Structures are given as structure tokens and as C-alpha cells.
């Protein structure tokens, strides 16, 4: 099927010499403002390289962008309610847990802390709802997924916008800047952390970032620390891996989490969302210790469970949105952003979904309960996997999702180490809207949208994770 193309912000291609010149400027701007990452191949802590980015802002329909922004608080609240509905979470995840050890481990921690009595009833969510445009349906946005843990690129996206604006000015296109929406993702996300800190209300307490052994996406994380430190000089931030937390953090008799002699007010997970981040039982032990504590967790364990693909699929089933949101107009607006989502459980509808996917595998994506990119199956792999798992319980660990067909955009992707100038290529963009929410089961203290990210990948690539090395950071140019 041929995909339509959205018009670029200025006519392309650029003339060769102009292109070479602005690419050099863009790279230097990016490096000098920290739009960077650490090099995976030649790792050193002493250097960063540019994060992959798209040279000019990619077109995005304004009505769809606005819709996504407006929906964010509604989706935040929906996920908050889902996370606090024990019965719904349990029923929804039940079959996947039998065959997915990682999700089962998270679930067991949730059950344990609930049975003990939760020491902290407040949750902090720094969420990101991701969308692709559905070209056959007037480029209306469809939700790819809802991230509740370690939603990244708020900081880099906030800065990249300024780089893109600089490049447009260098091209003599300053009048186009008005089409680039403001992006306060970094300050918005950080204020979520500081508001949670204030609700914790213990002077001298600290914030703990849970990080990977090696943080390739170091700039994005550090900018959060710098921002918090700037705005709130009274707040100290610690970075620890789960392994270090196992060694160093303790629970006192009031269930406060103590690190380096300080009470931890807020725990912000930038790690802990995939199996490799728990190499031994120690890391699971550390996670349990944190969850048992009075610290406000971002996300709480039930927020993390609510962010599973299985929950996303269950929300799309008839009547479920109504159960959480009533039957008003907002429910209809949320349903509109859902695309076909199907359970693969061993029941009648699961069998129907398997048959449907086997008949036309290209129409679907097969997704396990995983985060971080690179875990889904497409096309022929969907078919092969379903044939293999047809009679195996393993099937219940996956959901089936209709494949979204986004419109093409044209652009230049600038990558570290790649030849200059880059070729003009066909790309597709995925929009992410950040959301901040803080609340208990019964009371929501804050709930707002907090800026956006745009991430663009080669049109023929299945996935476009920037951290995974496939996609590029981008900024929307509203049409
Ligand atoms: P993860 O939690 O690993 O990021 P996603 O659901 O976001 O999982 O899938 C990863 C990527 O796969 C997305 O960023 C998108 O590029 C692609 N993708 C996921 N679902 C679909 C879909 N239904 N149609 C088209 N592409 C998809
Ligand atoms: Mg995700
Ligand atoms: Mg994703």
C-alpha cells in the first residue's frame, strides 16, 4: 500500500553547500548544548557524542497534536484509576503471569507490599503516551502505547527544539518558528519530582534516581538533576543501580528508606523496566525493599503494572473504558485513539485473533510484556511465532495489535559518525506526550500534560527507539 506524504516545512532537498553547512552547525549546537548520548561502541565517560536527530522539524497536523495534548490529563487519570483497581489488574494480567516471569516478579512484589499494608499510598507518574498517525484514517493519531516507567527524552526534546529553531533561522526561515510549539517537558517532569518531594514533607530528605550500570542516555538523565538542583538547591539527588541499592540502602523501623544517612523522599526509576536490569536475585531484593518503603516511587509498582501492553489491550475491550470513565464524551475521545488490540488468551476471542493474524500477518504487530524497544514482532515473524505458539500457553504473554500505517515525511537524519551530508530519506514520526500525575487511590494532587517529544525513524524500519539506535530525535512543525 502506498503511503501519502506530508509536506515538509520548506522545499527539499536543500542545495548541497547549504546542507553541509547547516549540518555542521546543527551538530555543534547539539554537542555544545548536550543533545548527546554516550557512545555504545567506544564507551568512555569522558566524552559524549550527538544523539541522532532530524535536521529540520517534521510536519505534524496541528489538530492531532492538540488532541494528544488535551487527552493527556484524561489518560493520566485513567491509568491512575486502572493502577488502583486491584481486581482489574489481577484479572487482566493473570494469564500472562503464568508464562512471563518478569511481569510475574513485579506482580509478586505488588501483592507482597499490598498484603503488608502500603507504607506509601502516594504514587508519582511521569508518563508518556505515544502515537503514530493512521494515514488511511485522515492521519488521525492512534496510541502506540502508554509508558509509565522511565519515559525518556523529555530533556533532550526540550533542547532539540531550540537547535531546530536555530537551524531554521540559519536558513533564513525565521517566520516558520511560530509553527513550532513550546516544549517545557524538562521543567514539567522535574516539577513532578519536586512536588512529590514536598508532599513527602521531610526536610533534608533526598531524591534517588535508579540508574543502569552504564547510562548511555546520560544527558537526558543529568539534565533532570541539573534542573532540580537549579530550582531547588535544598534537594540532593543520588544515583544508584539496583545492585548498589541492595548493598547500601536500608529500611529503618518506620520503613523509611535510608541511603547515606538520609531519608529517601522520592525514588525515580530510570532503570528496572527490563529483565536484564535484574541480573540476580539481589536486584529483585532491592526493588522489593524500595517498594516496601515510605518513599514515593516513580512509578509505584502498580503504575508500572498498569503500563503493560496487556492492560492497554484490556482497556480496548468493549465496556472497559466505560467502567473506568463513564459513558461521556471523553470516553469516546479516548476510544478514538485506540487501534485494534486483541488478546491471545486461550478462549474463543483469542482463537479468533490467532486465525485473523495468520490470515494476514502484515496487518499486525505481536507484542510481549516488555519495554525499551526491540521486543515486538512484525510481518512474517508474527506468523512464524503464532504458528509456533498456537498450542502453547506462552501465547498469553503477548498481545496482538493492528499495525498503524503512518504517512511519510522527508528529512535528513544526522547521526554520529555518519557521512555528511546525510541523504534525504523517507521517514515516519512518532509523537509522545508527557504527563505528570501525583495521587493516592482517593485523591489526585496534580495531573497535567508536560510537553512532548517527536521521534522519527526510517520509513522501512519496524521500530525507531532512539536509545536503541534506530530512531532520531525530532521536533514537530505544526501544519
Ligand atoms: P516499547 O515499550 O518497547 O517502546 P512499543 O509498543 O512502543 O514498545 O513498540 C516499539 C515501536 O514499535 C514503536 O515505537 C513503533 O515504532 C513500533 N510499533 C509499535 N506498535 C505499532 C503498531 N501498532 N503499528 C506500527 N508500529 C508499531
Ligand atoms: Mg514502552
Ligand atoms: Mg515505545
Radius of gyration of the chain (CA): 22
The ligand minimizing its distance to the Cα of 151 is: 2
Atom of ligand 1 nearest to the CA of 463: 16
Ligand 2 ion: residues within 5 Å (CB): 145, 147, 371
Distances (CA, A) of 326 to 320, 323, 331: 9, 6, 7
Distance (angstroms) between ligand 2 centre and the Cα of 251 equals 31
Q: Is 439 a catalytic residue?
A: no
Q: Which atom of ligand 1 is nearest to the CA of 457?
A: 16
152 counts as catalytic: yes
Q: Measure 371 CA to ligand 2 centroid, in angstroms.
A: 4
Is the distance from the beta carbon of residue 220 to the nearest atom of ligand 1 less than 6 Å? no
- Predicted confidence pLDDT, tens digits, the chain (479 residues): 467 999 999 999 999 999 999 999 999 999 999 999 999 989 999 999 999 999 999 999 999 999 999 999 999 999 999 999 999 999 999 999 999 999 999 999 999 999 999 999 999 999 999 999 999 999 999 999 999 999 999 999 999 999 999 999 999 999 999 999 999 999 999 999 999 999 999 999 999 999 999 999 999 999 999 999 999 999 999 999 999 999 999 999 999 999 999 999 999 999 999 999 999 999 999 999 999 999 999 999 999 999 999 999 999 999 999 999 999 999 999 999 999 999 999 999 999 999 999 999 999 999 999 999 999 999 999 999 999 999 999 999 999 999 999 999 999 999 999 999 999 999 999 999 999 999 999 999 999 999 999 999 999 998 888 877 679 999 999 99
CATH H-level, domain 340-403: superfamily: Glutathione synthase lid domain (3.30.1490.50)
179 secondary structure, DSSP code: G
Give the Cβ contact number of residue 420 at 10 Å.
12
Q: Is the CB of 363 under 6 A from ligand 1?
A: no
CA distance 228 to 262: 18
Question: What residues does 455 pair with on adjacent strands?
Answer: 430, 473
Cβ burial of 48 (10 Å; 0-12, 13-18, 19+) is buried
Centre of ligand 3 to C-alpha 330, Å, is 24
ipTM of the predicted assembly exceeds 0.90: yes
User: What pLDDT does residue 2 have?
Assistant: 61
Taking CA atoms only, the protein residue closest to ligand 1 atom 11 is 463
Three-class DSSP category at 322: helix
Catalytic residue (choose from 371, 395, 432, 435): 371
Q: What cell does 60 get? A: 505534524
Q: Which pLDDT score is estimated for 139?
A: 97
Concerning whether 372 is annotated as a catalytic residue, the answer is: yes
Q: Which helix (H) or strand (E) holds 414?
A: strand 409-414
User: Residue whose CA is closest, atom 20 of ligand 1?
Assistant: 144
Q: Where exactly are the structural domains of the chain?
A: 16-339+404-478, 340-403
User: What residues contact residue 205 under an 8 Å CB cut-off, 6+ apart?
Assistant: 197, 262, 263, 264, 265
* Unique residue bearing C-alpha cell 505488588: 110
CA 6, 7, 10, 13 dihedral sign is positive
Write down the pLDDT at residue 343: 97
| pTM score | 0.98
Give residue 467's pLDDT.
75
Q: Which ligand 1 atom is nearest residue 374's CA?
A: 3
Binding residues: 128, 145, 147, 221, 309, 367-376, 378, 401-404, 430, 455, 457, 463
Residue 212: active-site member: no
Mark whether 255 is an active-site residue. Answer: no
Give me ligand 3 centre to Cα 368, in Å: 12
Please report the pLDDT score of residue 466 as a whole number. 83
Name the grid cell of 177. 518558528
Concatenated DSSP letters for 124-171? EEEEEEEEEEEGGGTTEEEEEEEE-S----HHHHHHHHHHHHHHHHHT
Amino acid at each position: 500500500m502506498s503511503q501519502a506524504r506530508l509536506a515538509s516545512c520548506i522545499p527539499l532537498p536543500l542545495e548541497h553547500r547549504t546542507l553541509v553547512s547547516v549540518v555542521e552547525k546543527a551538530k555543534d549546537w547539539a554537542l555544545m548544548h548536550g543533545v548527546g548520548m554516550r557512545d555504545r561502541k567506544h564507551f568512555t565517560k569522558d566524552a559524549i557524542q550527538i544523539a541522532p536527530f532530524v535536521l529540520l522539524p517534521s510536519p505534524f497536523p496541528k489538530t492531532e497534536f492538540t488532541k494528544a495534548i488535551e487527552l493527556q490529563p484524561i489518560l493520566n487519570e485513567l491509568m491512575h484509576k486502572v493502577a488502583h483497581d486491584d481486581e482489574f489488574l489481577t484479572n487482566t494480567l493473570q494469564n500472562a503471569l503464568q508464562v512471563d516471569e518478569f511481569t510475574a516478579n513485579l506482580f509478586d512484589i505488588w501483592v507482597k507490599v499490598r498484603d503488608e499494608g502500603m507504607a506509601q499510598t502516594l504514587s508519582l507518574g511521569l508518563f508518556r503516551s505515544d502515537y503514530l498517525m493512521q494515514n488511511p484514517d485522515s492521519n488521525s493519531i492512534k496510541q502506540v502505547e502508554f509508558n509509565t516507567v522511565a519515559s525518556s527524552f523529555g530533556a533532550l526534546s526540550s533542547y532539540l527544539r531550540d537547535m531546530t529553531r536555530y537551524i531554521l533561522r540559519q536558513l533564513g526561515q525565521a517566520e516558520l518558528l511560530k509553527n513550532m510549539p513550546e516544549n517545557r517537558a524538562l521543567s514539567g517532569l522535574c516539577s513532578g519530582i519536586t512536588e512529590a518531594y514536598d508532599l513527602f514533607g521531610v526536610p533534608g530528605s533526598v531524591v534517588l534516581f535508579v540508574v543502569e550500570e552504564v547510562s548511555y542516555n546520560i544527558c537526558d538523565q543529568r539534565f533532570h538533576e541539573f534542573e532540580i538542583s537549579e530550582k531547588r538547591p535544598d534537594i540532593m539527588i543520588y544515583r544508584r543501580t539496583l545492585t548498589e541499592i541492595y548493598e547500601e540502602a536500608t529500611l529503618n523501623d518506620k520503613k523509611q528508606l535510608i541511603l547515606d544517612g538520609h531519608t529517601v523522599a522520592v525514588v525515580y526509576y530510570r532503570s528496572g523496566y527490563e529483565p536484564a536490569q535484574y541480573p540476580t536475585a539481589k536486584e529483585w531484593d532491592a526493588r522489593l525493599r524500595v517498594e516496601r518503603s515510605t518513599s514515593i516511587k516513580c512509578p509505584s509498582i502498580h503504575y508500572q503494572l498498569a503500563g503493560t501492553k496487556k492492560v492497554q489491550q484490556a482497556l480496548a475491550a468493549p465496556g472497559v473504558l466505560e467502567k473506568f470513565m463513564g459513558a461521556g464524551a471523553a470516553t469516546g475521545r479516548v476510544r478514538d485513539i485506540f487501534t485494534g488490540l486483541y488478546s491471545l488468551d486461550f478462549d474463543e476471542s483469542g482463537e479468533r485473533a490467532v486465525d485473523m493474524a495468520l490470515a494476514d500477518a502484515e496487518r499486525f504487530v505481536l507484542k510481549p510484556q516488555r519495554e525499551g524497544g526491540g521486543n515486538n514482532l512484525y510481518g512474517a515473524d508474527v506468523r512464524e511465532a503464532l504458528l509456533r505458539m498456537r498450542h502453547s500457553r506462552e501465547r498469553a504473554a503477548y498481545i496482538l495489535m493492528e499495525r498503524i500505517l503512518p504517512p511519510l515525511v522527508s528529512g535528513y537524519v544526522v547521526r554520529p559518525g555518519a557521512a555528511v551530508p546525510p541523504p534525504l530519506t523517507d521517514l515516519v514520526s512518532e509523537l509522545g506526550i508527557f504527563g505528570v500525575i501525583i495521587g493516592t487511590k482517593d485523591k489526585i494532587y496534580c495531573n497535567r500534560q508536560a510537553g512532548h517529544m517527536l521521534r522519527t525513524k526510517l520509513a522501512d524500519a519496524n521500530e525507531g527507539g532512539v536509545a536503541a539506535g534506530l530512531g532520531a530525535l525530532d521536533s514537530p512543525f505544526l501544519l
